Structure 1
């Protein structure tokens, strides 16, 4: 078994070893180097070091976002990663796409419920009557977030529909952000919005299963009502896969890593592009993902895809036997910002 040369000296952690990291690392990174020695902590440090090495060696990184990470304000660290060219493509759920913008325009109207585990059905019903949509300990306000964004997006959908144009879900959202029409509603620094940063930098974004989101439901409603005449004004998931295949073919030869936050479609959809190119299109010499890390607390049992260990992906032609592979079984809201901080040198 190969052991990282840095880790061989970790129990001693000499003054020289400390100074080596102090030259290039901030206080968070130094803390991790000193304390994260075993179990999930060690896996976190290993993954962070490998991520940083991958980028320093000229590789690119693809980040997937599942769960409710945007409501957990992952933009506070992810926007910086995008800004510093540490992230080169993103796949996210429709919820994470929209919830970053909900937070941008309605942050002060969110309601936190620290004792959410103690809520009764009556308490939950009262939140519903107040039009507060709960995500664990955080309630998203319907009027200030959902309906405000719906108004802006409907303008974009209708304009494209009337012109006979079609765009991807993220393109509509980025158009609305870059137009400035929402600027008057900003309640956080837009530099802490990962989607704003991605829009500015034209970062490749893929949103499979977008219809399983609040705005996807709203779009369907406007199609049913007849306001939107062409149901295909918003492009589909299959079109996203075609686009991903083209992008992967261009980028992967340079070394493309896969950093998965949570499970679900955000991770399952894009990682399959490799076997699709090789097995279905029968293209020879398709590069595999050159780094893989998943942060998840999903149980590795009973056919759980989100909880599958990375080695299983070797059998599907997604990873190679020598690909750096990490799985961190922990809360992504805690681990992802720490890894991002390490990569950024904070």
Structure 2
């Protein structure tokens, strides 16, 4: 008989939702016992059962073992796990009283935040200061008379609840609509009254992504809201794609509450957080990466694409009629040429590039077009 599981406590937030998804994966695999999973995954029964307990954030190796034993896609589940881990941090910040100290941005993203801080300060020059419960003072334009109306898109209810509480604590802001999926957002955004001034869109969603919603709003809606993309991690592809879709800015989910409020006011006033310097850095890294791909041999590029399909060395070897050791050698050579320290980085990059090609999105052409746009603006 399958081992019984305790009911999930959904008040624990994203970690419980993630555990529910793991349990659903186990049911889809025929509800194997944890003893069977432990034999297949070479992990203890306790570790695997705790991964789906929904009490604490499980370690990725344990989750990966669980997923593989149930026949899931490790690449897809790693992205889910990363999103859950970051959303859980937000959840814990919301429910704990008093709130913990503000999280710090990653080292790789410090330059983005510094540039945004400088830009916000410059845009808000000459403004008046009003008291705020989320900081000593928050800037707002002196001629602001109307309430800034905000629309929220995030697949986690607790995240939306936290954002709503933060935004509606301000006397000059109000949340006028919400959605949990891209499909809901496309239906609700055009019908929302009063019309939102700013739409805060989560990039990663269960059905599509927030970038597609931004593109929909900016191309089909009259008086479309200004779009602020919210992401769990810095991603050059996301930066460039957001700009191409018409977004006016993007922020990490670990952004300080005060900075998020400043950003909303700035965008509502017609400003932007897509700093040209930050955008140029992203374009430069994309160009460097794409140039590196040109250095791959035909066979290396073939293996690179198959890795992007989520195939293992054994699966690629069978398809190409070579030994797994040969594939391992090629994979190591690709990692050296591309500067990847781990196979995981290589696979994730390959998957993203493969998806982009399938969607007929040419990153190099996009980078050149954006560069030309900013060159004209700078003249």
TM-score (norm 2): 0.26
Q: TM-score, normalised by structure 1?
A: 0.28
Is the helix fraction higher in 1 or 2?
2
Higher Rg of the two aligned structures? 2
Higher relative contact order (Cα pairs below 8 Å, separated by 6+ residues): 1
